[in-house]
Structure formats: C-alpha cells, structure tokens
Amino acid sequence: MKKALLIFLLLGIACTVFSQSPYTNITISSSNSPEEPSICINPKNLYQVVAGANISSAYYSTNSGYNWTRFGLTNSSWGVWGDPCIIVDTLGHFYYFHLSNSTSPGYWIDRIVCQKSTNGGMSYNNPGSYTYFLSHKEQDKEWAVVDPRNNHIYCTWTQFDNYGTSTPTDSSKILFSKSTDGGLTWVDWGATGTMKRLDNLGGDCVDEDNTVEGAVPAVGPNGQIYVAWAGPLVRNSQFGIFFNKSTDGGNTWLPSAQYIAPQPGGWDYMISGIQRANGLPITCCDISNGPYRGYVYVNWTDEAGTNNHDVKFIRSTNGGVNWSAPMKVNNDTSNKEQFFCWMTVDQKTGYIYILYYDRRDDVSNANATHVYISKSTNGGASFTDERISESAFIPTSSTFFGDYTNITAYNNVVRPIWTRLQGTSLSVLTAIIGTPTGIEQPGITVPQDYRLEQNIPNPFNPSTTINYTIPKDNFVTLKIYNLLGQEVAVLVNEFKKAGEHSFEFYGTNLTSGVYFYKLTAGDFTATKKMILNK
C-alpha cells in the first residue's frame, strides 16, 4: 500500500527520552522520516530487540530497548520498498521481510523479500531470498510468523494483478508461502509454485475497501496455521473479516474462506489529520502453556459512527470453528477515534496486548493523538486499557504515517512501537513496559574517545554507512570531498549529543572514483578514503 513517494534526509541516529509519563517513552530514531514500524523481542535473549520502519530503516537494541542503533537496509538484487515485518526464530535469528523495488523496467513491488540476521539485527544477508515471483504482478502488505516446533517460516500477503486499477478482470488475492530452511528457499508445491491461494472470491486492485488485504498468519500449538484478512463478502459488496486455516503445515487449506465478522464501513477509511488509515485485522494464537492455550484471536478497527472508530476483537476457543461476537476493547464512552491497532500474545504468560492510537483524552484539540494499550489476562474475555504515550501529538494530513503500528511481548516484557509527528518531523518511539529480570534502566554509555570508522561497505554502490563517535556534545560536520579537494556533499552540519552516530550516504549522483569523508567535532578532525564503484 504505497500511496506516497517518500523523500528521505539521511541523518544520524537519535535516542531521546521524554518525561512525565506512566511509562518511559524512548525515541528509537527520527532519521529518514520513519513510519509504518515493526518490532520484535528475542525470547531467547530479552535484551535483544530489533525493529524496522519505512522505507529501509533497520534498528537494533542490545539493552532491552533503552538505546538503539540505526542503519539503512540494502538489497543488491531486488531493492527495498518498505512494509517492514520483523520476526525471530527459535535460534534467535531475526528476519526482515519487506517489499521489493526492482530496477528492471516495468517492475515494482514484484516480490516479497526475506533478509536474515544472525547477529541480533546488526546486519542482514544480502540479497536474501523471496517468497514468490510472477512477472508484472505486484506483491504487497506481507507478514510472517515462525512455527516454534520446527522453525518453519510462514508468510502471507496480497497479490495485485495490476495495482491501483479498477479493471473488472484484475483481481487481488491472498497468498501463502513457507520456508523450511531458515528463509534460504521457499517450498515448491509444483503446479502452484511456491505459493498457495487462501481466498476464493478475491477483490479488486484499487487498494481500498474492495481489495482483499491484511493477511497476518498465526501458528497454533500443534502447528496449525490461522490467517484472517479484510475484504468484500461478495466482490464489490458487503465488507467483513475472512478466515482460513491449515492443519498440515500449509499444504492444504479450507476450500472456501470463512466469513467470521462484519466490518461496517470497510477497512479503508479517513482519520482527521491522518487521512488514510485502515482497520486491517491481526491474527494471533495462544501457544503458551497457560489455560487459554490454542485460543485464536482476531483484532481490527471498524466504524462505530461518524468520526468514531473502535478497536474490535473476536476469539475462537475451538480452532476457528466458532467465533465470539465482536467486542470493543477500548474502554471509553467518548465516541472518539481509535485507529491503527496491532495485537500480540505474550507466549510465556498468554496475556493479550493490543496497541492503538486514541483520541479520548484531549478536549482542546480533536486531533490530539495518544497511544494506548488494551490488555487481557483471561483469554480475551475482558480487557483493561491504559495510556502509554507521555504526551499527545498533532498529525497533519500532508505527512504519511503508513498503515500500521506494532507491538511485541515476552514474559511480561512489552515493547510497542509507533510513529509520532513533532512539528514537521516524524519519529518512531517505543515504551519501556517491563524489564528482563535483573536489568536496571541504564544511563547512556558515553564513549571516551573521538572515532571516525571506515565506511561499510567499501567499495560501495550506491550506498555506504559511515559511523562516528563523539565523547561529548559538540557541533559536528561530516563532509564528502573529491580527489581535487572539492566539497561534493554535506552529510552532517549540526549540534550532536555525545555517543555513537551513523549516517547512510548515497552516491547516486556521483561518478565512480575515490572520495574522502571528513569529520570535524570541536578541535577533532579525521579523514578517511572511500571508493564508489558503479
């Protein structure tokens, strides 16, 4: 769902702590206008938290989300075009799923790409793999999950015959693929290739209410795969939530998708100040050893009245055969907007957490937006909710927020992630909710020396990352020069806090050759050589 072409200013990383809140809010990054974020805790090491944001930002934390490092994800074969999905397998390996941006003429988001990290999200293999490719079809809005019994990876997404068109013969479809070797390759089912189709009716290709969208897979305790999505009951007719499942690792599925809940007003709607939002469903299953093991949950938002969307939830206690009636989880009577929700299940405790934007609190400005979490400790029978943002923000319709937020949890350590607009600057934030046993909130580690690192990779084409460290707050410049000593680019020219910083430099507009980059911070200067090889 790429409705806007984003122009990025490639700056350094930042870690800003706000004050006066029930939970500490931490700015993961404000570089590169980040939005549509994803986040994941490693259950094997709760200090490791990995995140991503549009279009190509990758983040990692080694201290449970208090401090973060950012770098730009690259893909030498298929490009990177957003919709990040971060998951982790049972070995502690992280995966960054994203859309492609092929340089081949006539191709765009033509496959779902999977890149793997074996070092806690500090780097990813390049180019990785992709789930499926069909010439001149667009693949969009993917999500993935790992089966902890066998480490298999399952991925679902929407395929467009021709993205953005209303031609009746063009259709959108929900597709599924799986990898049994840690994302190296994707299973070939012969006649259907590396994918299965899960819907039987399809939708149009406009990328609005009549398009089938929002397939998020979940794994059951015995390897069942559950998926829900939004779309029309009959093509171009009533809107609702659909469901399909497999009990044999994705080899076979229900012959017809089930219609499990209505969605008044459809999934694509407008929010004041945000413009396009969506109520696409999230599917989860409890595979903890608690009393609600095997329960399947679906969460979405839908219309409750004019300028009033609520967060909805249903559950199945028998593997998707029967479903509860939709219930509202935001416990307010304000008739205010709630939107951009995401759900996760803490697979240690079985607790359900649902994250969303909420406008119930500020009567002075109808667009003032907070962030809330609704929590259930009884298998979704009831929810409590609380505000987790330290202050409201005011979005503007000219700023693209993407299509989702995200949240991850394990053993009472909860890390949400959301997009915030401050003035004209976008940032992605998390909140510190629970800490791993024995960890205290750390201060920011202040380095002892100035350092300018060798750019990585070197030689490069077209991008490379420059890391530098300053031991105290200082005005910093980072500039690029050619062999004649002529300044060709200014990367940094501002006051910076003490710490480690990173800048991703693109040499797209430069010719091949040798260049120099120079760091100046106070009395410190350092220069290193790099090679652009196109």
Region 329-334 average pLDDT:
92
Residues 115-142 have a mean pLDDT of 94
Q: Tens digit of pLDDT for each residue in 172-182? A: 999 999 999 99
Whether residue 514 sits in one domain with residue 373: no
pLDDT surpasses 80 at 5? no
pLDDT at 235: 72
Residues of the chain with pLDDT > 70, as a percent, come to: 94
pLDDT more than 90, % of the chain: 75
Higher pLDDT, 491 or 388: 388
pLDDT band at 8 (very low <50, low <70, confident <90, very high): very low
Which pLDDT score is estimated for 446?
Answer: 58
Q: Are 424 and 495 in contact (CB under 8 A)?
A: no
What pLDDT was estimated at residue 512? 93
Question: What residue has token string 């416990």?
Answer: 331
The answer to whether residues 154 and 276 belong to one domain is yes
Average pLDDT rounded to a whole number, residues 407-418: 97
CB-based contacts of 161, cutoff 8 Å, min separation 6: 137, 169, 170, 171, 172, 205
In a domain, 253, yes or no: yes
Does the residue 272 lie in any domain? yes
35: in domain: yes
Looking at 377, 400, 432, the residue that finishes a domain is: 432
* 372-375 contact pairs (CB < 8 A, 24+): 372/330, 372/338, 373/407, 373/414, 373/416, 373/433, 374/311, 374/329, 374/330, 374/331, 375/351
Considering 375, 397, 432, which residue would you say is the last residue of a domain? 432
How large is the average pLDDT for residues 385-414?
Answer: 94
| Inside any domain, residue 357 | yes
What is the pLDDT at residue 157?
98
Question: Does residue 20 register a pLDDT over 70?
Answer: no
Identify the pLDDT of residue 517.
Answer: 96
Structurally, how many domains does the chain consist of? Answer: 2
Structural contact between residues 428 and 406, judged by C-beta atoms closer than 8 angstroms: no
pLDDT at 7 over 70: no
Out of 87-96, 247-256, 466-475, pick the least confident. Answer: 466-475
> Pick from 382, 402, 432: which residue ends a domain?
432
Residues 303-329 have a mean pLDDT of 95
Q: 11 in a domain, yes or no?
A: no
Residue 109 inside a domain? The answer is yes
| Residue for token pair 């999905």 | 85
Q: From edge to edge, which strands make up the β-sheet containing 282-285?
A: 282-285, 296-305, 308-316, 327-328
Residue 86 pLDDT greater than 70, yes or no: yes
Other CB atoms closer than 10 Å to residue 325's CB: what's the count?
6
CATH code of the domain in which 458 resides: 2.60.40.1930
> Tell me, what's the pLDDT at 461?
86
For residue 9, pLDDT over 60 is answered with: no
224 and 185 housed in the same domain: yes
The pLDDT value recorded for residue 443 is: 41
Q: Is the pLDDT of residue 519 over 80?
A: yes
Query: Does residue 409 contact residue 346 with C-beta atoms inside 8 Å?
Result: yes
**Contact call for residues 361 and 387 (beta carbons, < 8 A):** yes
pLDDT at 190: 84
Is 242 exposed, middle or buried, given 0-12, 13-18 or 19+ CB atoms closer than 10 A? buried
pLDDT class of 21 with cuts at 50, 70, 90: low
What are the C-alpha distances in Å from 259 to residues 67, 211, 272?
Answer: 43, 15, 30
- CA distances (Å), origin 38, targets 44, 89, 134: 19, 16, 27
From 199-203, 302-306, 437-441, the region with the lowest mean pLDDT: 437-441
Average pLDDT, the chain: 90
257 in the same domain as 199: yes
Q: Span 389-405, mean pLDDT? A: 92
Q: Which of 88-92, 292-296, 359-363, 414-418 is predicted least confidently?
A: 359-363
- Residue 488 has a CB neighbour count (10 Å cut-off) of 14
Strand order in the sheet with 94-99: 85-88, 94-99, 112-117, 129-130
In order of 26, 170, 273, 334, the CA distances from 418 in angstroms are 11, 34, 16, 23
Report how far residue 294's alpha carbon sits from residue 219's, in angstroms, rounded to the nearest whole number: 9
In degrees, rounded to 5, the angle at the alpha carbon of residue 75 between the alpha carbons of residues 176 and 458 is 160
Same structural domain, 384 and 484: no
**pLDDT for the residue numbered 444:** 43
Q: Is residue 67 part of a domain?
A: yes
Do both 425 and 461 map to the same domain? no
Regarding whether 520 and 407 lie in a shared domain, the answer is no
Residue 4 lies in a domain: no
- Cα 533 from Cα 476, distance rounded (Å): 28
Q: How far apart are CA 202 and CA 197, in angstroms?
A: 10
Question: Token match 């693109």: residue?
Answer: 506
Asked if 384 and 263 sit in the same domain, the reply is: yes
Indicate whether 104 pLDDT > 60.
yes
Residue 400 and residue 486 share a domain? no
Record the tokens describing residue 502, joined without a space.
């990173």
What residues form DSSP beta bridges with 24?
432
Is pLDDT at 17 greater than 50 in this prediction?
no
User: If residue 428 lies in a helix (H) or strand (E), which one and from where to where?
Assistant: strand 425-432
Residue 215 and residue 105 share a domain: yes
Residues 198, 122 share a domain: yes
What is the spatial distance between Cα 251 and Cα 174, in angstroms, rounded to a whole number? Answer: 15
Parent domain of 489: 451-532
Q: Give the residue-averaged pLDDT of 192-216.
A: 93
Same domain, residue pair 460 and 357: no
Question: Picking from 33-37, 119-123, 282-286, 507-511, which range would have the lowest pLDDT averaged per residue?
Answer: 507-511
CA distance 428 to 26: 9
Instruction: Give the mean pLDDT of 280-289.
Output: 97
Mention every residue, 6+ apart, whose C-beta is less than 8 A from residue 112: 97, 98, 99, 100, 130, 131, 132, 139, 142, 155, 157, 177
What is the pLDDT at residue 465?
A: 82
